[in-house]
């Protein structure tokens, strides 16, 4: 029954006790189980509305101590999995730093460095698609990029290639009643993700809409420069929604963009040929293109990078929101969630029955944009 659907449907197993079940629990063949919000709260979910607000409150106050020992449900999974990898990575990084130090101390001729640079560039130019690389190859390209940056800028960066963890599916919810249009998320995102400062690229757009007129995106202003919250307006943010059935991924001729196991839709910037077909295919204005060489002032570069996330891009490639893969895969919230002063942004693991995001999906009236297109975005809107 459930598995004979004509179109793709996101299945979070919300109707079953067991998360991540293979078939849809509601047993209907047509869109029935999409309306999670209409279902009564399940037993076993004992968070009340007050507790939810308290949780949001707590998240806001915790902002200052982020990075300390706050453990989310899925972070524990990471910690176990991360150990060996990070140890390996640390080792190589220190080796590289050591090598760099040796280089400078022995005053090796510049010629050798140029040669190494050329060698690195050569290997980078002809490497394969990240999606199809083995663990070792992934690590090798990361190391090359780190080394190359070191050679060029005489600075060290930290780059990871953390893979998706099992039993994690990232999702996002946006509280329309809370957002005041401060755009702190936008600037935090630009900083975190090393976006081009020249063209003022922004992944997030905040649409300012008039009260009482409903969601009229075409009349909304997504580029305002006045004091907020403006009288008689409400705000709605859009970005890449990390569709579970992403049309952008289908159309890419070289598989430079794909959906990861944990639901993130990512791009291999080095494999992208810049045809912009994905941009035409995205119904949510989620993608951004580097029309010229992206520039970030050296002192503003976020050096904590992920291969699929905020590492520095080059001209002529596609990029977009990755739910801050460099943060989310190490158990942190994306920068926008952390930066939002009103608590309008909720992020978490959809497969964890105790996560805040699941509570929102099950207890609030949620909706998504353009649901009729069958893209199944993992980005929900709700109101208090």
Residues at the site binding ligand SF4, with contacts judged by CB under 6 A: 240-243, 246-248, 251-252, 254, 256-257, 265, 267, 272-278, 282, 284, 286-287, 318, 320, 375
Stretch that binds another protein, among 80-88, 158-166, 218-226, 335-343 (CB under 8 A): 218-226
Closest contact distance (angstroms) between CB of 279 and ligand SF4 is 7
Residues 86-145 within binding reach of another protein (CB under 8 A):
125, 128-129, 131-132
Q: Total number of residues binding another protein (CB under 8 A)?
A: 52
Binding flags for another protein, 280-299, as an x/- string (CB under 8 A): xxxxxx-xxxxxxx------
**Which residues, at least 6 apart from 59, have a Cβ–Cβ distance to it below 8 Å?**
333, 343
Tell me how long the chain is.
Answer: 384
Cβ atoms of 189 and 204 closer than 8 Å? yes
Nearer to another protein, 131 or 210 (CB): 131
Cβ atoms of 322 and 264 closer than 8 Å? yes
SS3 (DSSP) at 116: helix
Alpha-carbon span 22 to 18, nearest angstrom: 10
**Which residues, at least 6 apart from 132, have a Cβ–Cβ distance to it below 8 Å?**
none
Alpha-carbon span 250 to 252, nearest angstrom: 6
Closest contact distance (angstroms) between CB of 371 and another protein is 12
291 binds, among another protein, ligand SF4, none (CB under 5 to 8 A by kind): another protein
288 binds, among ligand SF4, another protein, none (CB under 5 to 8 A by kind): another protein
Q: Which of 254, 261, 300, 303 binds another protein (CB under 8 A)?
A: 254
Beta carbons within 10 angstroms of residue 240's beta carbon: 25
For residue 157, give both structure tokens. Answer: 């960066």
Q: Which of 272, 340, 350, 357 binds another protein (CB under 8 A)?
A: 272
Nearer to another protein, 271 or 359 (CB): 271
Alpha-carbon span 379 to 159, nearest angstrom: 27
**Which residues, at least 6 apart from 48, have a Cβ–Cβ distance to it below 8 Å?**
none
Sites of contact with another protein (CB under 8 A): 125, 128-129, 131-132, 199, 205, 207, 216-220, 222, 238, 247, 250-256, 270-277, 279-285, 287-293, 315-318, 373-375
């Amino acid at each position: 029954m459930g598995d004979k659907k004509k179109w793709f449907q996101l299945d979070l197993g919300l109707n079953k006790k067991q998360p991540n079940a293979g078939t849809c629990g509601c047993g209907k063949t047509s869109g029935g189980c999409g309306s999670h919000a209409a279902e009564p709260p399940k037993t076993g979910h004992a968070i009340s509305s007050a507790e939810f607000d308290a949780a949001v409150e707590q998240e806001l106050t915790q902002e200052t101590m982020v990075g300390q020992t706050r453990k989310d449900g899925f972070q524990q999974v990471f910690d176990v999995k991360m150990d060996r990898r990070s140890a390996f990575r640390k080792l190589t990084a220190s080796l590289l730093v050591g090598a760099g130090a040796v280089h400078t101390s022995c005053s090796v001729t510049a010629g050798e460095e140029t040669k190494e640079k050329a060698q690195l560039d050569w290997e980078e130019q002809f490497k394969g698609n990240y999606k199809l690389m083995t663990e070792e190859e992934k690590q090798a390209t990361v190391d090359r990029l780190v080394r190359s940056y070191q050679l060029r800028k005489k600075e060290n960066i930290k780059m990871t290639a953390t893979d998706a963890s099992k039993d994690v599916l990232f999702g996002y919810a946006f509280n329309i009643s809370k957002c005041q249009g401060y755009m702190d998320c936008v600037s935090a995102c630009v900083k975190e993700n090393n976006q081009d400062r020249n063209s003022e690229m922004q992944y997030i757009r905040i649409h300012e809409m008039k009260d009482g007129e409903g969601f009229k995106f075409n009349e909304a202003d997504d580029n305002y420069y006045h004091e907020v919250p403006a009288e008689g307006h409400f705000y709605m943010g859009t970005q890449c929604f990390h569709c579970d059935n992403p049309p952008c991924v289908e159309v890419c001729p070289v598989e430079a963009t794909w959906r990861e196991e944990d639901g993130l839709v990512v791009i291999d910037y080095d494999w992208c040929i810049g045809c912009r077909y994905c941009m035409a295919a995205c119904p949510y204005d989620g993608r951004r293109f580097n029309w010229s060489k992206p520039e970030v002032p050296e002192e503003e570069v976020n050096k904590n990078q992920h291969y699929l996330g905020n590492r520095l891009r080059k001209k002529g490639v596609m990029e977009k929101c990755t739910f801050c893969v460099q943060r989310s895969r190490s158990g942190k919230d994306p920068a926008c969630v952390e930066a939002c002063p009103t608590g309008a942004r909720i992020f978490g693991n959809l497969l964890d029955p105790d996560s805040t995001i699941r509570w929102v999906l099950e207890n609030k009236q949620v909706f998504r944009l353009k649901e009729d297109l069958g893209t199944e975005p993992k980005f929900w809107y709700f109101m208090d």
